[in-house]
Amino acid sequence: MDKTILRLENLTKAYQKPRTKLFQSKKSFFAVNDVSLEVYKGESLGIVGESGSGKTTIAKMIMDLVHPTSGEIFFENKKFSELDLKGRQEWRRHIQIVFQDPYGSLNPKKTIGWTLQEPLDIHHIGTLKEREEAVLKILEDVGLPGSYIHHLPHELSGGQRQRVAIAAALILKPQILLVDEGVSALDVSIQASILNLLKDLQDLYNLTYIFISHDLNVIQYFCDRVAVLYNGELQEVFQTENFDKEKHCAYTKKLFASVADPLTKI
């Protein structure tokens, strides 16, 4: 558990503030400000913070969807900015993401089978038969029947769609799975089943999770360590099981005071 798989070093993202007046000069602000953080192989690291604290911006920088203003990301000690094209493609394959709204990330006109097979086609993995078998296997692993390959996203429930989104993220066997508010849109009972599924998949696929949520109950249930973000700045990182034993910064105390029983398991 002590091997670092991913490291953020002084990661910063500045954006321009929207102008409120016509001739106002452009001002920038830090969506993410000087964040340094290590992610250990096999752990579930939570990133918690209120809306607008920079969680998704961190996820997008890790996914190479947003370029950092400054700072570096290291994957297994390799600097991302120094990787060649092949290295970048490898990186993208090994880090996948599940967003809050699977409906938005699944193509509404394509069958589940098509969506799950596409990444294997793009990366030329296996024969056609092996790809079809891999799709059926991943459906089974996320608890959906094989017949769902013929279904379209709108024929599925929210929880089932999130299972498909998880399957799509795992089909290329990544090392790291980012889950950005991945259960926030679901009913509590469905949330629990998806969280349990993610825990099972962690063992099955040897996954490292970066689990982003504003929901402290979910974070405490799911994560080994928790990083607290406020206004783009990292406040502290602590072991979940030591929550009661450690001294916390004022913001963390305030955040966790709003949870009725912080250690309640779902």
Ligand X SMILES: Nc1ncnc2c1ncn2[C@@H]1O[C@H](COP(=O)(O)OP(=O)(O)O)[C@@H](O)[C@H]1O
Q: Give the residue among 73, 116, 112, 111 at the shortest CA–CA distance from 95.
A: 73
At its nearest, how many Å lie between ligand X and the CB of residue 229? 7
Considering the rule CB under 6 A, would residue 52 count as an interface residue with ligand X?
yes
Q: How far apart are CA 161 and CA 181, in angstroms?
A: 15
Residue 49 or 182 with smaller CB distance to ligand X? 49
Residue 54 or 159 with smaller CB distance to Mg ion? 54
Contact partner at residue 119 from ligand X, Mg ion, none, CB < 5 to 8 Å by partner kind: none
Q: How far apart are CA 165 and CA 169, in angstroms?
A: 6
Token pair recorded at residue 258: 């709003």
At its nearest, how many Å lie between ligand X and the CB of residue 248? 20
Residue 53 or 235 with smaller CB distance to ligand X? 53
Contact partner at residue 131 from ligand X, Mg ion, none, CB < 5 to 8 Å by partner kind: none
Contact partner at residue 52 from ligand X, Mg ion, none, CB < 5 to 8 Å by partner kind: ligand X
Considering the rule CB under 5 A, would residue 57 count as an interface residue with Mg ion?
no
Residue 172 or 237 with smaller CB distance to ligand X? 237
Q: Compute, in degrees rounded to 10, the torsion defined by CA atoms 54, 60, 63, 69.
A: -80
Which of 33, 44, 56, 117 binds Mg ion (CB under 5 A)? It is 56
Considering the rule CB under 5 A, would residue 220 count as an interface residue with Mg ion?
no
Q: Give the residue among 58, 85, 55 at the shortest CA–CA distance from 73.
A: 58
Residue 100 or 220 with smaller CB distance to ligand X? 100
At its nearest, how many Å lie between Mg ion and the CB of residue 172? 24
Contact partner at residue 112 from Mg ion, ligand X, none, CB < 5 to 8 Å by partner kind: none
- Do 150 and 113 contact (CB within 8 A), yes or no? yes
- Do 73 and 8 contact (CB within 8 A), yes or no? yes
Q: How far apart are CA 245 and CA 209, in angstroms?
A: 24
Considering the rule CB under 6 A, would residue 100 count as an interface residue with ligand X?
no
Residue 190 three-state SS: helix
List CB contacts of 145: < 8 A, sequence separation 6 or more: 139
Q: How far apart are CA 95 and CA 177, in angstroms?
A: 6
Q: Which stretch binds Mg ion (CB under 5 A): 7-15, 52-60, 160-168, 244-252?
A: 52-60
Contact partner at residue 15 from ligand X, Mg ion, none, CB < 5 to 8 Å by partner kind: ligand X
Which of 56, 115, 213, 235 binds ligand X (CB under 6 A)? It is 56
Where does 37-127 have alpha helices with state H?
55-62, 85-94, 102-105, 112-122
Which of 15, 74, 80, 205 binds ligand X (CB under 6 A)? It is 15
